[in-house]
Structure 1
Amino acid sequence: MAAASCYGVAAFSCGSPVTRRAAGLNQFFVPSNYALSPAKRVLKFREDGQIKEPAAVPPTPTPPPKPKVRTGFSDVLAFSGPGPERINGRLAMIGFVAAIGMELASGQDIFAQVQNGGVPLFLGTSVLLSLASLIPMFKGVTAESKSGDLMTSDAELWNGRFAMLGLVALAFTEYVKGGALV
């Protein structure tokens, strides 16, 4: 703390270099961050000895505007549109969790669950989630615009893809095994 008390004294009488460094001071007795140092100017000299000022740096161009999101029915539900994979992924995530949960609760495999009254529940859930996914898409809201740090649109797509694969693998395994997985 000896260096902190000698701000008005010359740098040579301010204690050891270790004390000055710990207090954030360099050998010239100024705070050692670069925010206080003046900006450097680069001057060029011409052949006749005159100083030539550097040319001004042109401003960076503004980025082009983002293309408008197309919200037509055929655009949203096109093969490469935002709707099919996102909706199928969301349905697969719900379906996979529901299938595993019902299998653990009742001991029935997927095929038995569908045969025992699962079709109306499946259709109702599919219609409800599809409409809930399509309405924002028709209004022009993208999943990327609603992404956060943890819950991103890419994570949702990958989780949906894995859920689709998991649901198919669960059904195939139960078919080959001839009964419930657990």
Structure 2
Amino acid sequence: MATSSIFMATPITLLKKTPTFSVKCMSQTPQSGEPEVSKPATTPTLPQINIPPPPPPAPKVSTKFSDVLAFSGPAPERINGRLAMIGFVSAMAVELSSGQDVFTQIGNGGVAVFVGTSVVLTLASLVPLFKGVSVQSKSSGLMTSDAELWNGRVAMLGLVALAFTEYVKGSALV
């Protein structure tokens, strides 16, 4: 019985020793005409990680012969520009070394060299396009596909201007 009286006496003594405390609340009175709004308690939020969406898939490049060699297709201007770049540099090199103008160079076996170079360069330009490789996929840094287009355009104009100048002048430019 001694244990039960100790057990019964402990809660009574605890109740007598419980300290008292008070709670203070402060509130602001709403302005006239404003409804009283209670704000929900804010909980800390985790930072959001923004993962960029994956890039869109590259558009399929058509490998049809009519699309590759279409007027606005990837092949015609590039092939003509590449031929003009090679033609302008080689015409100027031969002119500087032998003093022959463009028309003399063409008359002295230049047609066969031109046709051979044209066939090789055209096939080399068409093979990647027929495999589905886009022109822009291999361009980076200084050597971009736009730079090649502009260099080809300038070379085409330069070759025509060289031939026209030599025709009007009647002799080699240099």
TM-score normalized by the length of structure 1:
0.69
Match of 2:61 in 1: 69
**Displacement of 1:148 after TM fit?**
2.4
Q: After the TM superposition, which residues 3-152 of structure 1 pair with which residues of structure 2 at under 5 Å, given as runs?
A: 47-51=38-42, 60-152=52-144
**Displacement of 1:52 after TM fit?**
5.9
How many residues were matched structurally?
Answer: 137
Match of 1:154 in 2: 146
SS at match of 2:100: coil
After superposition, the C-alpha distances for 1:81-100 in whole angstroms (9 at most, x for unaligned) are 00000000000000000000
Separation (CA, whole Å) in 1 of partners of 2:132 and 2:75: 12
TM-score normalized by the length of structure 2:
0.72
**Displacement of 1:65 after TM fit?**
1.9
Separation (CA, whole Å) in 2 of partners of 1:79 and 1:127: 19
Match of 2:173 in 1: 181
Q: Which of 1 and 2 has greater Rg?
A: 2
| Unaligned 5+ runs, structure 2 | 1-36
| Unaligned 5+ runs, structure 1 | 1-45
Separation (CA, whole Å) in 2 of partners of 1:113 and 1:83: 27
**Displacement of 1:49 after TM fit?**
4.8
Q: Which amino acid aligns with 1:124?
A: G
Of 154-163 and 57-66, the range deviating more from structure 2: 57-66
Separation (CA, whole Å) in 1 of partners of 2:163 and 2:132: 36
After superposition, the C-alpha distances for 1:140-169 in whole angstroms (9 at most, x for unaligned) are 112211112121111111110100000000
Q: Which amino acid aligns with 1:160?
A: G
Separation (CA, whole Å) in 2 of partners of 1:74 and 1:47: 71
SS at match of 1:50: coil
Higher helix share: 2
Match of 1:8 in 2: none
How much is the aligned-residue C-alpha RMSD, in angstroms? 2.0
Separation (CA, whole Å) in 1 of partners of 2:129 and 2:55: 25
